[in-house]
Structure 1
Amino acid sequence: MTQPAPERILVIEDDRALNRLLIEQLERLGYAAQGAGGRAEALAALAGFRPALALLDLRLPDTDGLQFLPELREYCPVIILTAYGSIDQAVQVVRAGAADYLVKPVSAQSLELALKRFFDTASLLRDLAFWQAQARRGRDAELVGTSPEMNDVRSLISLFAGTEAPILILGEGGSGKELVAHALHARSRRSNGRMISVDCDGGLPAAELFGEMRESSGHQISRHEGLIAAAEDGTVFLSGVDRLAPDVQAKLLRTIETSTYRPVGSSVSLPSAARFILSSNLAPEDIAPEGGARNELLFRLSAFTITMPPLRARPGDVAVLAESFLAHRSFQRSIPKRFSPAALSALTAHDWPGNVRELRNAIERGIIMSAGEEVIEPGHLGLAAPKSKSAPGREGAQVTLTFALPPGMDELRDAYLQLLLDRYGGNRRRIAEILQISERNTYRLIQKLPPSQDAS
């Protein structure tokens, strides 16, 4: 695994001797440092050096430090240096947004303490949300189930976790793909690093993922770091990655293959030490459909794939999951709760189109609706009445097709397929269940629809 680079610090001080002294002190402390004599030199340095912190003198030849402070803070935190120390001035610069305040001449000890305090605090703040999320997840982060399908998933996690290869996780919505991603990260050599999880279902701007550069006073400066930079040498998990725009997918694939990325608006590629885990709701056979260049990213990464089975494919795990959700609920813990045999039977009989997420919601509803009662009954769970397994999608619905003339077989097939597309909003998985054929064959039938009918 790539070792993290030393933190970079920009020293903005017009006294060249003091500037050089501060740089030497910083380098002895293990930091990477670069100097600038004023605002213009600082702006020029920001683009290529990309500091994590700036030391800023209040008295500069081409600007006043307090006036420059708000502009500089857009790119990195700032510690003020001044020879005119007073409590009033310290309060002024902190209120203006400075991270700290040091009075010149700065001793090596006070500089070391200030930097340690700053980077320790920054690290704690960066990690706070991650650890809070981990604590909230609790036992939910465990892959619960003893079915052969779940044992296969665990075997692949153990096999892939120790590699540096990007991993593709496939499965229906709510099936637990994010749990697989967390398990991969937790068992990898990057487990002490951050795991940044991003939902791409609504589309993800390239600037959010790769960062962005902008022009300021003729210089290209980092506007903000993207998620890849924020992950450092940890893991980036992108959920619903097939929903990314094609150009973003292409940039992401290039990043994964070359371990470099280019911020939006920049002509310079930067190194990436992050590992990527991607997920998609697509079925394996739909990763590279005919003419589907949009999914080239998934196709290229399909060598290391884990497919999370839907809950209906492992009914033996339903009761185990339900008991786990009940035991580790975060509310009404003072009231003992258990399922009646009828409730467990109802849970096992349900087909769970929403998978594990739907099951968890049903258990939470059962806990609430049972109120002060100890036993959760079927009526508390809010489950729909069982549906006939023999005729999926035909729950008493009537189908009417109208033709001016008696139709041929192809015309009849196309009209029925179009009706299903309209009724089920183009959901190929649902239509495939009704037609009792594979999703790939369903896709091919849709592609053959006359242009005027093609609703896909």
Structure 2
Amino acid sequence: MKKSILIIEDDQVLNTLLVQQMQEMGYHVDGALSWKAAQAYLESNDPDLIFLDGRLPDASGNELIPELLPRCPVIILTAYGSVPQAVDAVRAGASDYLSKPVNPDELEVVIKRVLDNETLRQNYQFCKNQLRGKRHKLLVGSSPALGEVKQLLDAVAPSEMTVLINGESGVGKELVAHELHDLSDRVECHFVALDCCTIQENLFESELFGHERGAFTGADRKKKGLIDAAEKGTLFLDEIGEIGPAIQAKLLRVLETGRFRRVGGTRDLPSDVRIVAATNRDLEAMVRDGTFRQDLYYRLNAFTIPVPPLRERREDIQDLADHFVQTHNFSRRISKRINKAAMRHLVAYDWPGNVRELRNVVERAIILSRGHGEIRPEHLAICETDQQPGDLGTQLQFEKEPTLEQVEKHYLQSLLEKYSGHRGKVAGVMGISERNIYRLIQKYGLAKQTEKEALSD
């Protein structure tokens, strides 16, 4: 996007000449012959740079500098030999000055230098604002529900307690875990995250604990595991409910003794690591079903932090959406915002995929709104459904009180029917990845249903 420049100069010939020269340099340029004309222009425009004549017919240029500086940098134009006036202008805050008549080569160099310095200043200010006074810098939002999460973090962070974070997929459980690490005494060491859904069970033990050379076919060298990588730091185990019985037993031993053994190893190794786990499943129900160890559950459940879904903290939606836009603006050096109508749509939507879905929708809207200074409702790819996930779930009928897995299977089956086996749409509604949808389809034997739906399309 072209940088815009405003020239406030009462000499019409010089004003026109400067406009032409800067346009040839690739800038968008407008001219004003008086301070009154400039004020009218500034009511509806935000230039990136202002050239200001030191002596206007209706104002003194040096006196206007403090008023203009909050908008953008100012370069003062002075009469030949007016050094004292130029010095006063710089003291008042002008970025630079040029003497009339203006040398075109010098003009181009000064413009580039001032604009580059302004970009650096804005980047610095952005970083400074991100860090200033933000104890919970990773958790965006000011709702009472999120405030409770922050209070729990403040309470448990200084301790060495194992923490279990509960919440639906996409609510930001890993961010909460990372915030816990940043608030703890372990902040100077590594935060290591492992998504338990993404590692095959036969490789999980090696990934977590490491292995010795020759421990299994293909183990041609010793490998340290993630527990080693997180030494003196924090190990975050996401979706802890997905690990099998064998790994559960070995993880319990680490929590109880602070020691572990590599695959193929013969001796126990000490471990100084804080374990934080997260799940979107009901571990207590899994304990009753016999699919999760009761003793491990009690160890993990020493301190629980429930993270509410986005639909229960709508006050945070605008803050989050603006944060995603500002982050994109900073990384791309552009300026974009969400207009009021689009924001109303975002706040009204129920976000079954929670913060992850909101981020994806905003990032997609940024791409679709190229060429526009703002994101509008037509840029939002929100999946409006006739029924919300909760409404669909109330239609599921069971002869007796169902287990969590039964509810999950029937819910998945209903969504597959509704969306004709389209895994991407089902993943969006459930707030999980397509890979996890595929895993659930295989787990519950629903592959034939998806094939049948695909053939009928």
Please tell me the TM-score bracket, short chain as reference.
0.5 to 0.7
Residue 288 of structure 1: how far off its partner (Å) = 2.9
Partner letter of residue 422 of structure 1?
Q
Unaligned runs of 5+ in 2: 1-126, 418-457
Residue 391 of structure 1: how far off its partner (Å) = 7.6
Q: How far does the alpha carbon of each residue in 1:197-244 deviate from its partner, in whole angstroms, 9 at most, with x for none?
A: 11111335201111112459xxx9971111111222111111112211
Aligned positions of 1:184-203 closer than 5 A = 184-203=180-199
**Distance in 1 between residues matched to 2:376 and 2:244, nearest whole Å:** 46
Partner of 1:265: 264
**Distance in 2 between residues matched to 1:295 and 1:425, nearest whole Å:** 33
CA contact (8 A) 1:240 1:281 kept: yes
Partner of 1:182: 178
Q: How far does the alpha carbon of each residue in 1:316-337 deviate from its partner, in whole angstroms, 9 at most, with x for none?
A: 1111111111112167744422
CA contact (8 A) 1:167 1:276 kept: yes
Q: How far does the alpha carbon of each residue in 1:266-325 deviate from its partner, in whole angstroms, 9 at most, with x for none?
A: 221111011111111114654533333357533432121111111111111111111111
Residue 378 of structure 1: how far off its partner (Å) = 1.2
CA contact (8 A) 2:277 2:300 kept: no
Partner letter of residue 338 of structure 1?
R
Partner of 1:393: 392
CA contact (8 A) 1:158 1:187 kept: yes
Residue 172 of structure 1: how far off its partner (Å) = 1.1
**Distance in 1 between residues matched to 2:253 and 2:393, nearest whole Å:** 46
RMSD, matched Cα: 3.6
**Distance in 1 between residues matched to 2:385 and 2:267, nearest whole Å:** 59
Residue 176 of structure 1: how far off its partner (Å) = 0.5
Partner of 1:50: none
Aligned positions of 1:348-427 closer than 5 A = 348-385=347-384, 387=386, 392-393=391-392, 410=399, 422-424=413-415
Partner letter of residue 342 of structure 1?
A
Secondary structure of the equivalent of 1:193? coil
Q: 2:154 aligns with which of 155, 158, 172?
A: 158
**Distance in 1 between residues matched to 2:370 and 2:151, nearest whole Å:** 40
**Distance in 2 between residues matched to 1:274 and 1:193, nearest whole Å:** 10
Partner of 1:207: 206
**Distance in 1 between residues matched to 2:379 and 2:356, nearest whole Å:** 17
**Distance in 2 between residues matched to 1:178 and 1:376, nearest whole Å:** 28
Partner of 1:453: none
Aligned positions of 1:428-439 closer than 5 A = none
Q: How far does the alpha carbon of each residue in 1:33-92 deviate from its partner, in whole angstroms, 9 at most, with x for none?
A: xxxxxxxxxxxxxxxxxxxxxxxxxxxxxxxxxxxxxxxxxxxxxxxxxxxxxxxxxxxx
Q: How far does the alpha carbon of each residue in 1:8-44 deviate from its partner, in whole angstroms, 9 at most, with x for none?
A: xxxxxxxxxxxxxxxxxxxxxxxxxxxxxxxxxxxxx
CA contact (8 A) 1:241 1:278 kept: yes
Residue 255 of structure 1: how far off its partner (Å) = 0.3
Moved more, 146-155 or 286-295: 286-295
Partner of 1:26: none
CA contact (8 A) 2:239 2:278 kept: yes
CA contact (8 A) 1:262 1:268 kept: yes
Aligned positions of 1:255-334 closer than 5 A = 255-283=254-282, 286=285, 288-294=287-293, 297-329=296-328, 333-334=332-333
Partner of 2:143: 147
**Distance in 1 between residues matched to 2:145 and 2:184, nearest whole Å:** 22
**Distance in 1 between residues matched to 2:254 and 2:331, nearest whole Å:** 47
**Distance in 1 between residues matched to 2:138 and 2:410, nearest whole Å:** 41
**Distance in 2 between residues matched to 1:390 and 1:419, nearest whole Å:** 12
Residue 394 of structure 1: how far off its partner (Å) = 8.5
CA contact (8 A) 1:288 1:299 kept: no
The 1:421–1:343 alpha-carbon spacing in structure 2 relative to 1, beyond 3 Å, is closer
